[in-house]
Structure 1
């Protein structure tokens, strides 16, 4: 890690409280600040949590409000996600994001799907519908949870509840994991110049709803352990002012 890299203040973002509360000591009594969208939770002088609400619109708006309210050195996005069947990831697996992609934004034409680049409005200069996470912060987070794989994620507005949808989204995004907020939070963090990293556990397989093999308690437990370990490491790196 570069000597000038700052770990704090750190913002830990989740869509819903269930994805973050088990990793934080004394959750019911932590100070809270309601935002017009979302809620900030003060964990320590150098760590804040943010519950955004589900979906890209809420996630982007709440993240922007939080970062405008208090500048952060880094952002850690945590939650559960669905694994595309072809990924081979089992329920309960821990994964970090190598990238986030929107496989739905664009246009459907008689010749097939065209992404944002095909419309002339690419999301980034490097990729039309994708953000790649190659910062020192993302590398450091991945190292803390190794050997958990670092894989491409897909952010969708409509979850893949059929096998056909799961296959199509996995193919378009070249992704292993599906979620509903990642790209929105990552893009917003980027606009504020805040390094982004994402950590998720697999709560279910995507595809036909009656075959999705949900196990949310297991996913929550694995996620809480991993997030707790990362926050402990951040406190060590940041020194006594982060207690």
Structure 2
């Protein structure tokens, strides 16, 4: 039973197709990722789901282009409501993403994540999912205040994690850093380096899974 890797784009999938895993391209965004993951798990069971791809790193994380992040937690960071200048998450609102139990969109990740991070020489910490990419230093700083220790920003992780949770399968997010979160400066993006880092992280996760699956 192979692990399932979910990526947003064909370019991200291309670097992973030779690994011992099933790779699915979901399309971009939380909804696309959740639907693709749920469909893939319905078609074929897996004992580990990995959300993989490139992403931006928050300034305080210490991550630079070409570095690697592994999830200690996956957070759907824009799930909530604004009350003037104050953001209320689902916990504060008394709402849940699940029909029968409290859940504020903060997903526990695979217990072996620390070992994956160690082997891949990656940073380990919370990874945020948003429906819109952050485009200013002020917005990036506000997210860092709300989620201390946040490493990276992506658009699919929480969708993959939600589908994995419903299926009862452990989940992990792995992101190679292509740029800093904040003002868009495409000239500074390092896509090839980020893709290489992503592959390194996924390969480490598959190595750990292979050792521990029994």
For the aligned pair, the TM-score class normalised by the smaller chain equals 0.7 to 0.9
Q: Per-residue deviation at 1:231?
A: 3.8
SS in 1 for 2:34: helix
Runs of 5+ in structure 1 lacking a partner? 1-7, 26-42
Cα 1:218–1:154 shift into 2, 3 Å = same
Q: Hey, what does 1:128 align to over in structure 2? A: 104
Does structure 2 retain, via aligned residues, the 8 Å contact 1:155–1:178?
yes
Cα 1:140–1:165 shift into 2, 3 Å = same
Which of the numbers 86, 90, 99 marks the counterpart of 2:73? 99
Say whether residues 1:193 and 2:186 are aligned partners.
Answer: no
TM-score by length of 2: 0.87
Q: Hey, what does 2:196 align to over in structure 1? A: 221
Q: Find the aligned partners of 2:22 and 2:161 in 1 and give their Cα distance.
A: 17
In terms of mean alpha carbon deviation, does 210-219 or 16-25 score higher? 210-219
Say whether residues 1:203 and 2:196 are aligned partners.
Answer: no
Q: Per-residue deviation at 1:234?
A: 5.0
Q: Find the aligned partners of 2:206 and 2:175 in 1 and give their Cα distance.
A: 15
SS in 1 for 2:188: coil
Render the CA deviation track for 1:44-80: whole Å, top value 9, x for unaligned: 6xx3111100000100011110001111111122111
Q: RMSD over aligned Cα, in angstroms?
A: 2.5
Does structure 2 retain, via aligned residues, the 8 Å contact 1:14–1:79?
yes
Say whether residues 1:184 and 2:159 are aligned partners.
Answer: yes
